[in-house]
Chain A
Amino acid sequence: MSEIENKGRRDFLSIAGKAGLTTLVAQAVGINLGVVDVVRAQTGKRGVEPFRFAIISDAHLYSFDNHKFDQQLIDAVNKVNNMTPKPDFVLFGGDVAQNGTEDQLAKGKEILSKLEMPMKIIPGEHDWYLDMGAAWRGLFGDETWSFDHKGVHFIGMNSILVNDFWTEPGLTDLERMTVMEMLESPIPGPWGVHDKQLEWLAQDVRDLAPDTPVVIFTHSPLWDYYPRWNFQTSDAPEIREILSKFDNVMSYHGHVHQTLYNRIGNMSSVAALSTSWPWPYPPVALAYPETQMNRADPSIATDGQGVQVIDLSGEFEGIVQYKPFEDSLTPFMQDGFKV
């Protein structure tokens, strides 16, 4: 697995170095929770040089020309490009495509190429199960990676791996894909990162000190939210155990198409809005219900969608700000929250 790590890290640093190292000036003024007044361009006690990164997720592009989701992803790219200051880089949270076809993935890559900063990406189930990731890998590279940026260790993993449900019944590639496209399909069962990536993760963080700031990025949440919709990662407990030695771990993920926060042990967990459509909150109680967004208005095509930006301080505290296309946030969420 080491070749995955080394290649991914090397590729990213070659581009991150060009765009990085810009000075982050005060930009987080007026946070309504009063937790941050100014983010200063100083290295904190944890060795973090403050910076910001953005997340775009769940574009679900179709093959139709001029589909509305194409423009919504373009809008997301423009929204990130127009941020002041600009994020150092962008993470894409999976599901570029809806049906996993190469044309959909290529269209997404073309739109995302307009980002004015480097991007790292992990796959979603909609990207993967037509050809088991062949087209995705050809366009985007390795799905398991790590890199260090301004004192923070970033990890990306493929969390949508399921056990083989297609060989025995003799499903075609298209049948396998359509099963995976359906959120509530009873067929595939829970997904996860599986053993090889767990071994890779353990190796990746083996020599890191406990006070190392760690950010882990996956398509699905690393906690048991609502398994029926795969709002979960089956081996999240093992991931959390491997990362339990760290003082503070931030987990960011896509898939759920909604604002959401949770914390388990040393790990905070933040969900990304999609650029395609919002998903309802499932019928389970949330530990932090105040992080829910307003119910999306179906007559406003882009309500409940958008992007997000995270400012990391020298103390490795994060301010998460959702940037929806429309006025989708409750007053509590409008100016961001601390993680």
Chain B
Amino acid sequence: MRKSISKFGGVLAVPAVLAAIVAAGPSSARAPYTEEELQQQMDSLVESVSLGYDLWHGSKPEMTTNGLACGNCHPDTAASNPQTFPKYMPMFGKVVPFRDMVNWCIETPQLGQALDVNSPEMTAMEAYAFKLHRGLPIEPGLASRQTSSIPVESGKGFPHVPTGLGVDK
């Protein structure tokens, strides 16, 4: 990389800032995150995944009027296929993001009230589903194939003490 830029350096006026970054190698424009900061970020993610876990298993009564929760049909978020979105879904007749499919399931099989797509709750649903599909290839457009969540060892999954209304009340 350094060699390439040097080749064109005389022709292209490389901005001084960029040149400085390149000259400095792999360092970043700000100080690296501290271990404490990284832990705070991970804690926030875990909190969101945890909320998603509860919602997925029925903690919000408004999401159903017939008793069904996401977990009825999608244990461990299996066959929700988040990594294949956005994709064309026949019930919409167009390409939709994962969150639209989540709301379709809430409103149709569960006869419940859809989540605000911009809410922390919807983000949490996505955080949980994507967490259990981590490492699987992103393949938008596969509308008919079932993919499962990643294998989880028996008896232990995402480390979590259930608190949701539909789980342990």
Q: Which of A142-192 contact B (CB under 8 A)?
A: 174-175, 178-179, 182-187, 189-190
Known contacts: A67-B66, A178-B166, A282-B148. The answer to whether A186 contacts B108 by CB under 8 A is no
Q: Does A84 contact B (CB under 8 A)?
A: no
The interface-forming segment of B14-22, B34-42, B74-82, B122-130 is B74-82
Contacting pair A175 B168 (CB below 8 A): yes
Closest to A229 in B: B75
How far, in angstroms, from A219 to B109 measured CA to CA in the complex? 25
Q: Mark A9-42, 1 if CB is under 8 A from B, else 0.
A: 0000000000000000000000000000000000
Known contacts: A182-B71, A228-B152, A283-B148. The answer to whether A295 contacts B157 by CB under 8 A is no
Q: Which of B48-72 contact A (CB under 8 A)?
A: 57, 66-68, 71-72
The interface-forming segment of A106-114, A238-246, A272-280, A313-321 is A272-280
Contacts of A297 in B (CB 8 A): 90
Q: Does A264 contact B (CB under 8 A)?
A: no
Contacts of B162 in A (CB 8 A): 179, 182, 185, 187
Q: Does A288 contact B (CB under 8 A)?
A: no
Choice from B67, B105, B148, B149 contacting A298 with Cβ under 8 Å: B105
Contacting pair A183 B75 (CB below 8 A): yes
Number of B interface residues in the complex (CB < 8 A): 36
Closest to A294 in B: B144
Q: Does A98 contact B (CB under 8 A)?
A: yes
Contacting pair A98 B67 (CB below 8 A): yes
Known contacts: A277-B73, A299-B91, A301-B109. The answer to whether A182 contacts B57 by CB under 8 A is yes
Contacting pair B66 A295 (CB below 8 A): no
Contacts of A279 in B (CB 8 A): 73, 75
What secondary structure prevails in chain A residues at the interface with B? Answer: loop
Known contacts: A186-B156, A190-B154. The answer to whether A278 contacts B168 by CB under 8 A is no
Contacting pair B157 A179 (CB below 8 A): no
Contacts of B66 in A (CB 8 A): 62, 64, 67-68
Q: Does B25 contact A (CB under 8 A)?
A: no
Number of A interface residues in the complex (CB < 8 A): 33
Contacts of B157 in A (CB 8 A): 184, 186, 228
How far, in angstroms, from A185 to B58 measured CA to CA in the complex? 13
Choice from B67, B73, B76, B145 contacting A184 with Cβ under 8 Å: B76
Q: Does A227 contact B (CB under 8 A)?
A: yes
Q: Does A284 contact B (CB under 8 A)?
A: yes
Q: Which of A64-122 contact B (CB under 8 A)?
A: 64, 67-68, 98
How far, in angstroms, from A282 to B79 measured CA to CA in the complex? 9
Q: How far in angstroms is the closest Cβ of chain A from B88?
A: 13
Q: Which of A252-292 contact B (CB under 8 A)?
A: 277-284
- Which B residues fall within an 8 A CB radius of A? 57, 66-68, 71-76, 78-79, 90-91, 104-105, 108-109, 144-146, 148-157, 162, 166-169
Q: Can you spell out 28 A-B residue pairs with CB atoms less than 8 angstroms apart?
A: A67-B66, A174-B169, A178-B168, A179-B162, A182-B57, A182-B71, A183-B71, A184-B75, A185-B167, A190-B154, A227-B154, A227-B155, A228-B154, A277-B68, A277-B73, A280-B78, A280-B146, A281-B148, A283-B78, A283-B148, A295-B145, A295-B146, A297-B90, A298-B73, A298-B104, A298-B108, A298-B109, A299-B108
Given A178-B166, A295-B79, 16 other A-B contacts at CB below 8 A? A62-B67, A67-B66, A68-B66, A174-B169, A175-B169, A179-B162, A182-B167, A185-B167, A190-B154, A228-B154, A229-B76, A280-B78, A282-B148, A283-B78, A295-B144, A298-B73
